[in-house]
Amino acid sequence: MKLRLPPVAYPLAAAGLALAACVGDTLVDPYKGHGIPCPLHALTGLWCPGCGSARAIYSLIHLDWSAAIARNPLLVVALPYVLLRWVGWMSQSLGGPSLWALPPKRWVAPAVGGLIVAFWVARNLPWPGFRILGPD
């Protein structure tokens, strides 16, 4: 017999996982070197697009916006969009209107992927103007 979950279970599960990650982030201070190190950075010395995310989230939880932006500006810029999309997903799951539902466009996924790759490359460039994008 296949277990059928109500549609609202999925956005609630995503919110629960995000909340658990935030709670874990507050219990283990990433600024003190605790947490999971980035395997790419450990192997190559390069910063991946997610490097600094734990410290950025920790800073956001403690309302330190400047530290959050300094650790991972892409994450901080993307969070409002992610939250709006989650609210729309939740509304749709409850049978409400499709809030903030953008019509699917073929160019959106490649554009977001290109933005992430551009951020990844830019934060690893050796020049001072780009080094500020790194999580140090």
Strand, helix or coil for residue 33: coil
Question: Does 3 map to a domain?
Answer: no
Question: Does 2 map to a domain?
Answer: no
User: Which domain does 110 fall in, by range?
Assistant: 9-131
| Count of helix runs (H) and strand runs (E) in the chain | 7, 0
CA distance 132 to 111: 23
Q: What string of pLDDT tens digits covers the 136 residues of the chain?
A: 688 889 999 999 999 999 999 998 888 888 888 878 889 999 999 999 999 999 999 999 999 999 999 999 999 999 998 998 899 899 999 988 877 666 678 888 899 999 999 999 999 999 888 988 988 8
91 in Cβ contact with 58 (< 8 Å): no
If one counts the domains in the chain, the total is 1
Strand, helix or coil for residue 117: helix
Question: Does 4 map to a domain?
Answer: no
